Amino acid sequence: MAAPRILSGIKPTGRPHLGNYFGMMQPGIAWQEKGEAFYFIADYHAFTTVHTPADLRDHSRSVALDFLACGLDPQKAVLFRQSDVPEVTELAWLLTCLTPMPMLENCHAYKDQVAKGVVPSHGVFAYPVLMAADILLYNSNIVPVGKDQKQHVEVTRDLAEKANRLFGPIFTVPQPSIVPEMATVLGLDGQKMSKSYNNTIGLFEEEKALRKKVMSIVTDSQPVEAPKDPAASSIVALYKLVASPDQVTQMEADFRAGGTGYGDFKKRLFEGIWEHFAPFRARRAELAADPAILDAILADGARRARAVALPTMERVRKAMGFGP
């Protein structure tokens, strides 16, 4: 069997956090060894909310640097900016015309905004169709994402199957890939970690800021002496992501035994996070020192991405009845 095509995207709406890293970046980096991986900075998607041009540009570069610093290898994986292949918006339009409104009315980003009383833009409503276009344009087999994106990959599958029924086998039907233990990383308040909830721990925070954030994790008010339930604690859940199995077993035992306060556990968690990302921090500083490195990687990525996207568009236009 040919090597699978793996594809995922991340929105440059701010700096990536532990949820982005463990839910998507780390699994994506592992996949680069197993197939042809395509990862992109979803700046068209970020444009649903980021309307300051300098921010959109800076965040796009900064997220790309973060991804590279964490181990994305541009020799193995293709790293590109979504907007460097604008054909994706053409495909999004074609798919839009095949998308029943109720399918999008059901999607969570749109529903959340309506529930909050915000008037959603058409971009937010149509967001999953653009995502389907991303996935189908590059003939993707596997889409590594966190659990919150599963619904969008299902929309993509439905649209691909519908188009294939109507126009012949033009699209590869993709599958999501979700690592169960990392499906939903919890934030400082115990809810899902998300930029929109303001409860994130960034990958590359300054030491002082990181310590402050970890110390602010919400806990119950049990006294130091009380035995505590490790399964109910987001400190333990986060520690599992960054510590060795022995360290986790020790923390769980100390929870059950009583006699240790949450402050101590948080200090251990801080150390774990700080050490886990130390090598990446050094690498990021090196990459950021010369902007030409990133420019070259993104230009090469755009070239390799277009080499896949253009033939897809030719095939799709022809099958759907456009052109001579």
Binding footprint of ligand TRP on the chain (CB under 6 A): 7-11, 42, 45, 131, 134-135, 143, 145, 149, 152
| Distance separating alpha carbons of residues 192 and 112, to the nearest angstrom | 14
The smaller minimum CB distance to ligand ADP, of residues 19 and 35, is found at 19
Which residue of 4, 5, 6, 10 would you call a contact of ligand ADP, by CB under 6 A?
Answer: 10
What number of chain residues touch ligand ADP (CB under 6 A)?
A: 19
Binding site partner of 185, from ligand TRP, ligand ADP, none, Cβ cut-off 5-8 A by kind: ligand ADP
Contact string 105-144 vs ligand ADP (x = CB under 6 A)? ----------------------------------------
Q: Counting contacts by CB under 6 A, is residue 312 touching ligand ADP? A: no
Contacts of 3 (CB under 8 A, 6+ apart): 34, 35, 36
Q: Counting contacts by CB under 6 A, is residue 81 touching ligand ADP? A: no
Residue 70 and residue 25 in contact, taking contact as beta carbons nearer than 8 Å: yes
Binding site partner of 143, from ligand ADP, ligand TRP, none, Cβ cut-off 5-8 A by kind: ligand TRP
3-state secondary structure of 175: strand
Site for ligand ADP in 23-52 (CB under 6 A): 23-24
Q: Counting contacts by CB under 6 A, is residue 260 touching ligand ADP? A: no
**CB burial string 110-134: b at 16+ within 10 A, e below:** beeeeeeeeebeeebbbbbbbbbbb
Shortest distance in whole angstroms from residue 139 CB to ligand ADP:
20
Which residue of 87, 90, 148, 300 would you call a contact of ligand ADP, by CB under 6 A?
Answer: 148
The smaller minimum CB distance to ligand ADP, of residues 24 and 163, is found at 24
Say if strands 36-41 and 78-81 run parallel, antiparallel, or are unpaired.
parallel
Say if strands 36-41 and 5-10 run parallel, antiparallel, or are unpaired.
parallel
Q: Counting contacts by CB under 6 A, is residue 194 touching ligand ADP? A: yes
Which residue of 184, 199, 233, 312 would you call a contact of ligand ADP, by CB under 6 A?
Answer: 184
β-bridge mates for residue 41, sequence order: 10, 81
Residue among 65, 6, 86 nearest 39 (CA): 6
Residue 12 and residue 48 in contact, taking contact as beta carbons nearer than 8 Å: no
> Dihedral sign, CA of 309, 312, 318, 320?
negative
| Distance separating alpha carbons of residues 81 and 301, to the nearest angstrom | 8
The smaller minimum CB distance to ligand TRP, of residues 36 and 134, is found at 134
Which stretches of the chain bind ligand ADP, using CB under 6 A? 10-11, 13, 19-20, 23-24, 145-146, 148-149, 182, 184-185, 192-196
